[in-house]
Amino acid sequence: MSSTVEKSLSEKTIEHETYSSIPDGYQVGKTKFAIVTGSVMSGVGKGTFCGALATLLSCHGFKVSPIKFDGYLNVDAGTLNPFRHGEVFVLEDGTECDLDLGSYERALHRNLAKDNYLTGGKIFKIILDKERAGKYLGRDVQFIPHATGEIKNYLRELALKTNADVVLVEVGGTVGDLENSYFVEAMRELRYEEGRENVMFFNVTYIVEPGSLNEHKSKAAQIGLRQLMSLGVQPDMIICRSQTPVPVSVKEKVSMASNVPIERVYNLYDFSDIYEIPLVLRDLGLDKELFKILNVFPKENTDGVLNFKNWGEFVRKVKNADRQVVIGIVGKYTNVHDSYLSILKSLEHAAPYFGAKVEIKWIEATDIEDGKTTIEEALKDVDGVIVPGGFGKRGIEGKITAIKYVRENNIPYLGLCYGMQLAVVEFARNVCGLKDAHTTEVNPNTACPIIDIIPEQKTKLEKSEMGGTMRLGVYPAKLKDNSLVKKLYNKDVITERHRHRWELNPEFHKILEENGMLLSGIYEERNLVEFIELPKNKFFLATQAHGEFTSRPLSPSPLFVGFVQACVSQ
C-alpha cells in the first residue's frame, strides 16, 4: 500500500473525504479477510459454510477469527423472538447473539467474545456515541464515509485483538437487502484499501430446482450475482447450494455470469452429514484455490484437538453409527427447529461416541396442556426427554405433566434452564406436597414461590430494563461429591453459561432435599442452585445453565454424553 493511501487512512480531519482508521499496531497484509455474502434467498446456508470453512482453515493451522454481521437495528439478539429468529446463543462473556456464533464456536472448538458479533444497532450506537462526544471534528456524519469507516475499523480492531491469520466475515441477509447494503459497501472499500491479495469474496447462492420442471435453474443465481457485482464487489469463489447435485452446464452458466473461473465454482448440495463438509471442501480443492488468491500457505497445526485426523475420525463415527435413539423435546417453539439448534447439535455430538443416531420427536407442550394429545401418546416410544429453556406461561403445565410422567416412569430426563425450574415445581407439588408451588414468572402471587426472581433482576424489570440484563454468561458451580453431575464432569468446580432471571428459592432447599432431590451443584457466592438430580431414577438431571452452548463435536458436553448414554441403554 502506498504511503499516500496509508496517510489518508490514518487521518480523520475535515480536510479529507475518507473516514477510515488504522489502529495502532495494525499491519496491512498481516491478516487476511474472507468475506461471505449470500444471494437469491436467506437461510441458504452461509453460516454452515462459514463454519465448515473455519474448520478447514483451522485444520490447516490458521488462526481464524469469525464475525457475523446482522443488519437489524437491535444492539444484540437478546430481545428477539425465537419464532422469528431462532435460538439466541450466549457467549462466555454473556453476549446474546445470533445462532451462527454457535456454529462458529462448534467449528473452531474455541470460545468467542462480543467482538465477534456486530449488528446494525451496535455500529450505529458506536457512531452516535462518537458524534455526541465530538469525535467527528465538525463533519456531517454519513453512511459514507463514517458508517463504512467504523465497520472497517471494527474488523481491523478484531484482527488485532485476536491476532488472527484470517478474519472470516459473514454478511447476514441477502444481496440486495437495504439493511446490509452499507456493510457490503464497507467490504468493497476494505478490499480497495487492503489490496486484492488480502481480501477475498465468497458468494453463497442457491440453484433452484422446481418440481414441475425436474431440472436445475440458475437464472435467479445469475441475477443475484450480477446484483452483487453492480455494488462493486467481484466474487472470487461461488458456492452453489442445491438440494441435489447440479450438472456442469449450470456451473458454466454461473461462471460466465460472475466472471469466476469454473474451477472456483463449487456445488454443495444437501448433505445428510454436515460434519463431512470441511473434508468435502478439501477434496474439491477449495483450500488450494483460497491459498492462491490470498497468497498464503498451510501452517503447522499444533492444536491437539482440532485437526484433520480427529475430525476425520469423528466423521467416521457419524457414518458408522447404527443404533437409533428417539429423544422427545417438549417445548413451545417446536415448529421452528432452529429455536433449539444448540440442543440438536449437542445430541449429534454425543450420539456417535455410542454408535448411535438421534431421531427427534417434537412434542408441543401446548398440545399436552390443551388436551389435544394424551401424555402417554406424546411420550410413546421415546428413549429420553429434554425440556429446554424458554420464557413465559404458555405451555408450562404441559411441560410439568411431561416431567411428572418421565419421573414416575423412570425415563431419562435432561432439563435445561426452564427445564430445571419446572422439574423443581413438579417435584414440589407431587412429591413434597406443596400443591401451590409455582414460579413467580407465571404466578407472581403464588403462596409457594419455589422459583422466584432475585432482587437485582426484579429491580431491572421494574425499571423496564430488558436487553442484556439477565444473569448472562459463565458462572461457577461447586459440584457435590457422589453426585451424577460430578461423575460426568469429573471436576469439583465447573462453569457453564446462563440466560435467565428466575432462580430456585433458597427457602425451599431443605424440603426438597428431605424428599429425595439432590441439589448437586451450587453457585456458592449467592447460594443459588445450578444442578438438581434424583438419585433414585436411572437418569434425572437438570441444570439452571445451558450446557448445550459449550458442546463441540470433538468434545461433547458431559451432560449430553451422560444423557445419551442413558438413552442408548434404555
DSSP letter string, 8-77:
HHH---TT-S------TT--TTTSEEEEEEE-SSSSSSHHHHHHHHHHHHHHTT--EEEEEEE-SSSSSS
* Helix residue ranges, H only, 198-334: 219-230, 248-258, 277-284, 286-294, 308-320
Residue-level pLDDT at 5? 44
Mean pLDDT of 327-345: 88
Tell me, yes or no, whether 152 and 299 share the same domain: yes
Tell me, yes or no, whether 348 and 306 share the same domain: no
Greater pLDDT, 22 or 269: 269
Asked whether residue 316 is domain-assigned, the answer is no
- How many domains are contained in the chain? 2
What are the cell numbers at 40?
A: 437469491
User: How would you class 139 by CB atoms within 10 Å of its CB: exposed for 0-12, middle for 13-18, buried for 19 or more?
Assistant: middle
CA distances from 239 to 153, 234, 246, 250, 285 (A): 28, 14, 12, 12, 13
User: Would residue 50 show up in a list of annotated catalytic residues for this protein?
Assistant: no
Categorize the per-residue pLDDT at 80 as very low, low, confident or very high, splitting at 50, 70 and 90. confident
Looking up residue 529, the CATH number of its domain turns out to be: 3.40.50.880
Tell me, yes or no, whether 61 and 207 share the same domain: yes
Q: Is it true that the peptide bond before 247 is cis, omega within 30 degrees of 0?
A: no
Asked whether residue 9 is domain-assigned, the answer is no
Mean pLDDT of 136-140: 82
Q: Per residue in 404-420, pLDDT tens?
A: 999 999 999 999 999 99
Beta strands 89-90 and 96-97 are antiparallel
Has residue 290 got a pLDDT over 90? yes
CA neighbours within 13 Å on the CB side: how many for 76? 20
Residue-level pLDDT at 457? 67
Task: Please identify, among 256, 279, 310, the residue that sits at the C-terminal boundary of a domain.
Answer: 310
Task: Please identify, among 277, 310, 343, the residue that sits at the C-terminal boundary of a domain.
Answer: 310
Q: Per residue in 9-66, pLDDT tens?
A: 444 445 566 666 788 899 999 999 999 999 998 888 899 999 999 999 999 999 999 9
Residue-level pLDDT at 271? 83
Residue-level pLDDT at 2? 43
Q: Are 145 and 19 in contact (CB under 8 A)?
A: yes
Q: Count helices and strands (H / E) in the chain.
A: 21, 21
Tell me, yes or no, whether 182 and 40 share the same domain: yes
User: Would residue 548 show up in a list of annotated catalytic residues for this protein?
Assistant: yes
- Lowest-pLDDT range, 3-12, 137-146, 275-284, 374-383? 3-12
Task: Please identify, among 289, 310, 331, the residue that sits at the C-terminal boundary of a domain.
Answer: 310
Has residue 455 got a pLDDT over 90? no
Name the percent of the chain lying above pLDDT 70. Answer: 94
Residue-level pLDDT at 16? 65
Asked whether residue 21 is domain-assigned, the answer is no
Query: Residues 425, 427, 428, 433: what is their CA dihedral angle, to the nearest 10 degrees?
Result: 140
Tell me, yes or no, whether 419 and 544 share the same domain: yes
Name the percent of the chain lying above pLDDT 90. Answer: 79
- State the CB neighbour count (10 A cutoff) for residue 455: 8
Cα torsion 442, 445, 451, 457: sign = positive
Mean pLDDT of 481-505: 95
Measured between its terminal Cα atoms, the distance across the chain in Å is: 64
Tell me, yes or no, whether 246 and 393 share the same domain: no
Cα distance between residue 479 and residue 150, in whole Å: 45
What are the cell numbers at 342?
A: 444448540
Cα distance between residue 239 and residue 194, in whole Å: 24
Tell me, yes or no, whether 304 and 331 share the same domain: no
Tell me, yes or no, whether 306 and 330 share the same domain: no
Greater pLDDT, 76 or 336: 76
CA neighbours within 13 Å on the CB side: how many for 222? 12
- Domain region containing 248: 29-310
Residue-level pLDDT at 459? 67
Q: Which residue has the cell 488450494?
A: 288
Has residue 395 got a pLDDT over 90? no
Cα distance between residue 341 and residue 448, in whole Å: 34
DSSP letter string, 387-422:
E----SSTTHHHHHHHHHHHHHTT--EEEETHHHHH
Tell me, yes or no, whether 454 and 419 share the same domain: yes
Looking up residue 66, the CATH number of its domain turns out to be: 3.40.50.300
User: Would residue 96 show up in a list of annotated catalytic residues for this protein?
Assistant: no
Mean pLDDT of 521-549: 96
Asked whether residue 4 is domain-assigned, the answer is no
Asked whether residue 289 is domain-assigned, the answer is yes
Tell me, yes or no, whether 376 and 293 share the same domain: no
Has residue 466 got a pLDDT over 70? no
Residue-level pLDDT at 135? 87
Cut 0.85: pTM above it: yes
What are the cell numbers at 20?
A: 477510515
Cα distance between residue 504 and residue 506, in whole Å: 6
Greater pLDDT, 457 or 68: 68
Tell me, yes or no, whether 306 and 325 share the same domain: no
Asked whether residue 361 is domain-assigned, the answer is yes
Q: Which residues contact 440 (CB under 8 A, 6 or more apart)?
A: 446, 449, 451, 452, 453, 502
Asked whether residue 6 is domain-assigned, the answer is no
Asked whether residue 204 is domain-assigned, the answer is yes
Tell me, yes or no, whether 257 and 329 share the same domain: no
217 DSSP assignment? B
What's the alpha-carbon Rg for the chain, to the nearest Å? 25
Residue-level pLDDT at 96? 94
CA distances from 94 to 240, 345, 493, 539, 561 (A): 35, 20, 19, 30, 25
Residue-level pLDDT at 1? 46
Considering 417, 432, 448, 567, which one is annotated as catalytic? Answer: 417
Phi-psi region of 432 (alpha: psi -120 to 50; beta: other; left: phi over 0): alpha
Has residue 479 got a pLDDT over 50? yes
Q: Buried b / exposed e across 532-542, counting CB within 10 Å, b at 16+?
A: bbbeebebbbb
User: How would you class 28 by CB atoms within 10 Å of its CB: exposed for 0-12, middle for 13-18, buried for 19 or more?
Assistant: middle
Residue-level pLDDT at 463? 60
